[in-house]
Amino acid sequence: MADTTFWDGSDHYLCDKELAQAFHIARTLGMPLLIEGEPGTGKTELPLQYAASQQTEMFVYPAGSKSNVEQFVAKFDHVKYLRDSQIEILNAQRNEKGLDTKLSSGGRDTENLSDYVVMGPATKAFSQPNSVLLIDEIDKAPREFPNDLLYALSHRKFILPESGKVIETTEKDMPTIVITSNREQELPTAFKGRCIYHYIQFPDAEKMRLIVSKHHPKVSNKIVESCLDIFYQLRRIGLERAPTTRELLNWLRYVKTFSTQEALSKINALDGLGTLIKTQADLERVQRQFGNASEQSFGTLN
């Protein structure tokens, strides 16, 4: 990799010190960085912000239950290939019958198998020096998926289907690879062994203040403080799905549309709770525990 200078966030993104160091280690060693952590702690943001601030090209592969290596690496377009070979026959027949016009195969040549290989994000990133490749939420992919990547990760090499072309990159030019996971399923040990591992710790109030100020620089301190206060209270009472950074930022986006005084009363009344609490059971629980406050405030508001 050409660029191995230390990168620790940009104007819009506060990169945790340890994460920045792990990211640096990964880039220096030319290994993928595997980031795990609670949802909404900014795992996906890291490569996005890095690519944006370095102005390099970025390739994203969002993993899902149907992910397979074919989509990730490259696919051979059998349908197009068949169509084109049929067209050749048709053209020959038309020629025989004395028809001049030819059906077009769009510049593709059936002799050249590479014309029919559709490149996936991985091969695109590998043929573009110093790009960024993000494999998002790899834990959602079937178990075979990470296992199938092992060879490519340790040899920096993909073999394209049918055409047999090899896409290879050197350690120097290799893309910065970031893989994120929510730990919905354990990844194979062999896979983890090939990655630099980092677990994002949930930010404490001090760090959260910095994160908030990067996203909502204009919100008054009072609002931020009372939001954080309630936010960490909610996290402490042991909800099924505790609110995360993402939810807090969304909540702030909502309350900041009001004037400071109004916003404060909205916060205390837990207005916009839907942005923070995502399950019915949690909602009931919060209402039981914080119930009195909200009733009072509702009384004065209405």
Partner 1 sequence: MFTKLPEAFKKFDLSVDVRALLLLQKAMDRGLVKTIGDLYNVLRTFIIKDPEHIGPYTKAFYSYFLDINIRPNERLNDAILRSQTFEQWKEVNFGRIEEDITPEEWVNRFLDQVHLTHYDIKEVLDGKELWDKDKGDLADEQEQNQEETPNRPLDRMADYSDLSLEELMQRMEEVMKQQQSQHSGGSHWVGTGGISPYGHGGAAKDGIRVGGSGGGKMARKVLGDSNYFPVDLDAVLNDNNIDAALASLKGIVEETAQEILDVKETIEKGLERGGLFIPEIKNETFDKLQVLLVIDNGGYSMHPYIKAVQTLFRKMKTRFAHDLETYYFHNTVYRQVFSDSQRRKVLPIERLLSKDPNYHVFFIGDAAMAPYELDRTSLNTYADIKDHFKKVAWLNPEPIKFWNGTLSTQIIKELLPMYPLTPKGIEEAVLEMNRKK
Q: Spell out, one character per residue from 1 to 20, where the chain touches partner 1: x when CB under 8 A holds, - when not.
A: ---x-x----------xx-x
Beta-ladder partners of 132:
58, 176
Q: From the list 142, 168, 256, 287, which residue makes contact with partner 1 (rule: CB under 8 A)? A: 142
Q: From the list 7, 9, 14, 26, which residue makes contact with partner 1 (rule: CB under 8 A)? A: 26
Of 88, 83, 84, 71, nearest to 123 (Cα)? 71
- What is the nearest approach in angstroms of partner 1 to the Cβ of residue 197? 5
Site for partner 1 contains 65 (CB under 8 A): yes
**Which among 49-57, 102-110, 158-166, 193-201 is the span making contact with partner 1, rule CB under 8 A?**
193-201
- What is the nearest approach in angstroms of partner 1 to the Cβ of residue 101? 21
202: which DSSP letter? P
117 contacts 41 by C-beta, under 8 angstroms: no
Nearer to partner 1, 21 or 110 (CB): 21
- What is the nearest approach in angstroms of partner 1 to the Cβ of residue 202? 11
- What is the nearest approach in angstroms of partner 1 to the Cβ of residue 28? 5
Beta-ladder partners of 117:
76
Report the first-to-last Cα separation within the chain, whole angstroms. 61
Query: Which residues, at least 6 apart from 258, have a Cβ–Cβ distance to it below 8 Å?
Result: 266
Query: Which residues, at least 6 apart from 266, have a Cβ–Cβ distance to it below 8 Å?
Result: 255, 258, 272
Q: From the list 3, 29, 210, 295, which residue makes contact with partner 1 (rule: CB under 8 A)? A: 29
Q: From the list 95, 157, 170, 186, which residue makes contact with partner 1 (rule: CB under 8 A)? A: 186
179/32 Cα distance (integer angstroms): 7
C-beta atoms surrounding 151 within 10 Å: 13
Site for partner 1 contains 232 (CB under 8 A): no
212/253 Cα distance (integer angstroms): 10
Footprint on this chain of partner 1 (rule: CB under 8 A): 4, 6, 17-18, 20-22, 24-26, 28-29, 31, 36, 65-68, 78-79, 82, 86, 139, 142-144, 184-186, 188-189, 192-193, 196-199
